[in-house]
Amino acid sequence: MSLLSQLSRRLTRHRKLQLQPVAKGDALAAIRIVESFQKRFKKKHGEPIVHCSDEMYIKAEKTFPPLKEYGVFSQIENGVGMVPLFKNQSKKVKIPKALSRKKNFLAFTGVSFFPI
């Protein structure tokens, strides 16, 4: 039995209903709901205040909002804005000329981040 299925069993042992992974349709629906709240909060408070986790955009196969939409990244430890910030910062990495030949780089990540 894989570690993931063992964890899943531990998570759900005391539940009557089993937890299901987020499906693409669910992620798209969640993004639509959050976007409607963001419009309202932006109008009222000047900032969107609520954000979807990066996982929602990955599951929905949807592009991430522009970095400026995340403000000061107050929820980055919760996986909100971490992926678009990583993508933005990794583009800015200056590779020394000594490594100018095509090189592979490795990043250790979680399962959801793997396709990125």
Q: Where are the domains of the chain?
A: 18-90
Q: Using one digit for the tens of pLDDT, what is the confidence trace for 38-97?
A: 999 999 998 888 999 999 999 999 999 999 888 887 787 788 999 999 999 988 887 777
Who contacts 47 (Cβ-Cβ below 8 Å, separation ≥6)? 41, 71
Residue 4, pLDDT > 80, answer no
> Within 10 Å of residue 1's Cβ, how many Cβ atoms?
7
- DSSP string over 20-40: -PPPHHHHHHHHHHHHHHHHH
For residue 2, name the pLDDT band (cuts at 50, 70, 90): low
What phi, psi does 22 have (nearest 5°)? -70, 125
For residue 33, name the pLDDT band (cuts at 50, 70, 90): very high
